[in-house]
């Protein structure tokens, strides 16, 4: 009844070799599914492994030159639905392929990015997934040169040389703006995202272009600056609603901002959609739960995560193949926060 808990302690490849009566190189071969091992020995090793409860030590494996089986994920912040949903996609895809995830958060401190990237690429991970990185200039070149596999999700520069997955921001913003116009709205307010980001600039540009396309004069006072956060959306909406000629509809650059708009409207006793139509962007899970359910431009967040993970794993396993970036489609999801302008 002694040593029952053999599984608990550090059984190494050497213990397994001894137990199976082979050299430990052979054990390594079995573990890594290499050819050239006689079936009988393979069996012996396998059974010894399970008998002893052997688990590989990834560190050692990766140090010795094997792959680590983990990918690094770099994000700014946790806890928003937006990244949460993307991460879920990444995780699901990783899970099916047996990779683990090492998570790094930058907390918007640009300086952290480069440091984390350096740490990640120095061993810990086989590849790197970057979600909306901010300061890629300082390290992407280096990754590329060293042929370290990486993929950017929601990139800032979409040059063809960067392996990335993005979405059709312009088309999405266009369809939302058109929808509002088709509903009869002409005074359509717009709240921007954080204009440092191309996604924000693209959405704004599409809003402008679409108005122009319909011959609707652009009224600068109808554009308020936001930052993709609810609070700022709230204040921006207040500005818009204070205008002498109040907009009849507001297109917010993302859902969180739209929630701020809803809040501001409610504050003033305006009903949505009767008194004000609202459209968001992203379609985070909450969008369907607010009241009224928010009409919004869906980004396929989980698909973005999945696609990014898939591309990365592919790159890891086929380093020779050149990667191209992927652009996923957006889609207008019509719920109940808009209505035709009464004539």
3-state secondary structure of 175: helix
Q: Which does 194 bind (CB under 5 to 8 A by kind): DNA, its own copies, none?
A: none
Q: Please provide the DSSP assignment of 224-244 as one string.
A: E---SSHHHHHHHHHHHHHSS
Under 8 Å between Cβ of 130 and 136: yes
Stretch that binds its own copies, among 119-127, 149-157, 180-188, 273-281 (CB under 8 A): 119-127
Residue 79 binding result from DNA, its own copies, none, given CB thresholds of 5 to 8 Å by partner type? its own copies
Question: CB-based burial of residue 118 (10 Å sphere; 0-12 exposed, 13-18 middle, 19+ buried)?
Answer: exposed
Q: How far apart are CA 301 and CA 304, in angstroms?
A: 5
Residues within window 38-77 making contact with DNA, judged by CB under 7 A: 38, 40-42, 54, 56-57, 60-61, 63-66
- Which residue lies nearer to its own copies by CB, 32 or 212? 32
Per rule CB under 8 A, count of chain residues that contact its own copies: 52
Which element (helix H / strand E) includes 152? strand 150-153
Binding flag, residue 65, its own copies (CB under 8 A): no
For residue 196, what are the β-bridge partners?
none
- Least gap, CB of 318 to DNA (angstroms): 16
Does residue 32 touch DNA according to CB under 7 A?
yes
Interaxial angle between packed helices 169-182 and 198-213, expressed in degrees from 0 to 180 and rounded to the nearest 10: 40
- Pick the piece of the chain touching DNA (CB under 7 A) from 21-29, 90-98, 140-148, 187-195: 21-29
Of the residues 26, 28, 68, 330, which one makes contact with its own copies according to CB under 8 A:
68
C-beta of residue 38 within 8 angstroms of C-beta of residue 49: no
Alpha-carbon distance of 229 to 257, in angstroms, equals: 5
- Residue 195 touches its own copies, criterion: CB under 8 A: no
Q: Which residues are at the interface with its own copies (CB under 8 A)?
A: 5, 7-10, 53, 55-60, 62-63, 68, 70, 73, 77-81, 84-85, 87-88, 91-92, 95, 100-105, 107, 115, 118-119, 122-124, 142, 145-146, 230, 259, 266, 286, 289-291
């Amino acid at each position: 009844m002694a040593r029952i808990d053999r599984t608990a302690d550090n059984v190494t490849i050497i213990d397994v070799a001894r137990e199976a009566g082979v050299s430990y190189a052979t054990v390594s071969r079995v573990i890594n599914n290499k050819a050239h091992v006689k079936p009988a020995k393979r069996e012996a090793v396998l059974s010894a492994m399970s008998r002893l409860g052997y688990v590989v030590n990834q560190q050692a494996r990766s140090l010795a030159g094997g792959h680590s089986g983990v990918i690094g994920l770099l994000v700014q912040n946790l806890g928003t639905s937006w990244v949460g949903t993307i991460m879920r996609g990444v995780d699901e895809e990783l899970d099916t392929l047996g990779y683990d995830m090492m998570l790094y958060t930058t907390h918007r401190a640009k300086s952290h990015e480069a440091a984390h990237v350096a740490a990640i690429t120095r061993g810990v991970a086989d590849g790197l997934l970057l979600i909306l990185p901010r300061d890629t200039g300082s390290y992407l070149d280096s990754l590329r040169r060293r042929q370290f596999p990486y993929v950017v999700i929601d990139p800032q520069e979409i040059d063809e040389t960067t392996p990335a997955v993005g979405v059709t921001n312009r088309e999405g913003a266009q369809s939302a703006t058109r929808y509002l116009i088709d509903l009869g709205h002409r005074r359509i307010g717009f709240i921007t995202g954080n204009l440092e980001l191309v996604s924000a600039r693209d959405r704004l540009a599409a809003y402008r272009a679409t108005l122009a396309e319909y011959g609707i004069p652009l009224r600068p006072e109808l554009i308020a600056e936001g930052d993709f956060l609810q609070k700022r959306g709230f204040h921006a909406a207040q500005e818009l609603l204070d205008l002498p000629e109040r907009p009849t509809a507001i297109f917010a650059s993302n859902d969180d901002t739209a929630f701020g708009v809803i809040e501001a409207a409610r504050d003033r006793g305006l009903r949505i959609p009767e008194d004000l139509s609202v459209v968001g962007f992203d379609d985070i899970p909450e969008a369907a739960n607010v009241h009224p359910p928010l009409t919004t431009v869906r980004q396929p967040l989980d698909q973005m995560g999945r696609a990014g993970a898939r591309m990365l794993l592919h790159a890891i396993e086929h380093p020779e193949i050149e990667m191209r970036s992927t652009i996923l489609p957006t889609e207008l999801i019509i719920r109940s926060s808009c209505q035709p302008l009464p004539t």
